[in-house]
Amino acid sequence: MTFADGEPTTLLLLRHGETALTPERRFSGSGGDDPALSETGRRQAEAVAARLAESGTVHAVVSSPLRRCRETAAATAGKLGLDVRLASGLREADFGAWEGLTFAEIRERHPDELAHWLVSPSAVPGGTGESLESVTRRVEWSRDKLLAQFPGQRVLVVSHVAPLRTLVRLALGAPPESLFRMEIAAASLSEVAYYPDGTASVRSLNDTTHLR
């Protein structure tokens, strides 16, 4: 990793706004439909954009290529006068046959498969999905690329639950099972600082004060 002398590189982690699937807590990954923001999600994107425009400097906006993130990122980048850069490594996990189902529906239809996924990072969800090990590898690669590109700067990262939880988990040095113990709400902000000595610090998690 490359850092500016003495200055941390800060990643502001923004989960996209709500889609029609979000309130029902349905699995919505990169292997199913690519839903747009709902009306609520658009309002959330505008609210977080206003907050970031008022709260300080952002040097770059980087987004998952999925539509809900691109729409959220566009609202924020417009307020900040920045372009949106896309990073495929920040896309949501592919949940295979679980796409569009709730947790309860998956537990009823695929109980053994779900139980394995909750304890094994190498488990493949929905038969043809993407393991959390795979998600971690591409998220680590994307993180390292951002830290090399923007040393000492503040970068808004617009992504999804699995990639954002992974970034926080890696910063904390927490075990894989900690992914299921974090709340990352729609349009929430979290912040991780990466220091010149290679250490990282989670400064905030799941901040939704701009939505109240």
Q: What is the DSSP string of 54-90?
A: HH----EEEE-SSHHHHHHHHHHHHHHT-PEEE-GGG
The one catalytic residue in 92, 99, 113, 130 is: 92
24 is catalytic: no
For the chain, how are helix, strand and coil distributed in percent, rounded to 5? 45, 15, 40
116 is catalytic: no
Q: Would you give the DSSP letter of residue 188?
A: -
Asked if residue 137 belongs to a known ligand binding site, the reply is no
Paired residues of 192 in beta bridges: 11, 202
Q: CB neighbours of 35 closer than 8 A, spacing ≥ 6? A: 19, 20, 21, 28, 67, 68
Q: Would you give the DSSP letter of residue 106?
A: H
Q: What is d(CA 140, CA 190) in angstroms, rounded to the nearest whole number?
A: 17
Query: Would you list which residues are annotated within the binding site for substrate?
Result: 68
Query: Would you list which residues are annotated within the binding site?
Result: 68
For the annotated catalytic residues, the residue numbers are: 16, 92
